[in-house]
Structure 1
Amino acid sequence: MPTAGNNARTALIETLNGALADHLALFVKTKNFHWHVAGPRFRDLHLLFDEQAQQILALVDVIGERVRKNGGETITSIGAVGKLTRIADEDDATLDAQAMVERLLADNRQLRERLEEVKAVSGEADDHATNGMVDDWIDQTEERIWFLSQSLK
């Protein structure tokens, strides 16, 4: 548990919950695209989107537990996810593969920015565990960005 003041801890919990909401929203969007991708790139993108969705989902519990270990409460509902996430909804199941890749690329870049905020705020809160863990979360996000950007070439 961090030793910094209550304001720093509160900011960390809020930022972690935002990152948690982003991961949940990005998981749903990535799975949506996994289910609905079509066209000549179907197999490759279907598999890529599934791999990325599983990677994103694997961090949900880890982030939620960081919130709890810092004395906070995690988000509790789909409504809370909607309020806190920066990942835009996508209800169009007819997007072409190119648009799907472009949107996931932009969303992962947005998530990377959020994780940079977690990195900064965890440092201010003297939460060395979260600060160290977030490096791995950023690395995973950068790998997804790389794979998605390479699939646009």
Structure 2
Amino acid sequence: MDIGINEQDRADIAQGLSRLLADSYTLYLKTHNFHWNVTGPMFRTLHLMFEEQYNELALAVDAIAERIRALGFPAPATYSEFARLSSIPETAGVPKAEEMIKLLVDGHEAVCRTARSIFPVVDKASDEPSADLLTQRLQIHEKTAWMLRSLLEK
């Protein structure tokens, strides 16, 4: 494979993107869980908002996995791999709506940190497609975290 990025850099980028994929998939599952299980006075608003968010995340995990494949590496695709690679903890039980919002803010912020941590190797390798993907993901996760945080203001 000769796309202008050496094998070690491609491996390092794929490893970082695998962590991003794991975080994104974990956040997808958490958001879908909360969509199904939210209750309370903000039910309709949160139910619909969470649905928009998990639908966006479903598209994101596909784009991230396909970038890993384009770099020549297998994309992680099992719960055990995601659990090992993700920085986002599972949520036990069914939290109250406000706690769901806080947990999703934490999740989106975690994805942002993971995405940012990959930039040094992406920049070093002049991997513009991966940099573009990371920038797009950061824009979405920062905006989503801001919107969720806004719901918590008293």
Q: TM-score range by the shorter chain?
A: over 0.9
Paired residue secondary structure (1:146): helix
Cα offset, 1:9, TM superposition: 1.7
Unaligned runs of 5+ in 1: none
The residue aligned with 1:38 is 39
Paired residue secondary structure (1:151): helix
Contact 1:2 1:126 in 2 (8 A): no
The residue aligned with 2:20 is 19
Q: CA RMSD in A?
A: 1.3
Contact 1:68 1:74 in 2 (8 A): yes
The residue aligned with 1:114 is 114
Looking at structure 2, the residues matched to 120 and 26 of structure 1 have their Cα atoms a distance apart, in angstroms, of 24
Relative to the length of structure 2, the TM-score reads 0.93
What is the number of residues matched between the two proteins? 152
**1:4-62 Cα distance to aligned partner (Å, 9 max, x none):** 43332211010001101111110000010111111111111111111111111111111
**1:70-112 Cα distance to aligned partner (Å, 9 max, x none):** 111110311111111111101212x111110001101110110
Q: Percent identity?
A: 28
Q: Does residue 129 of structure 2 align to residue 142 of structure 1?
A: no
Looking at structure 2, the residues matched to 136 and 65 of structure 1 have their Cα atoms a distance apart, in angstroms, of 15
Looking at structure 1, the residues matched to 138 and 69 of structure 2 have their Cα atoms a distance apart, in angstroms, of 21
Unaligned runs of 5+ in 2: none
Cα offset, 1:2, TM superposition: 5.2
Amino acid at match of 2:81: A
Relative to the length of structure 1, the TM-score reads 0.93
Amino acid at match of 2:108: N
The residue aligned with 2:128 is 128
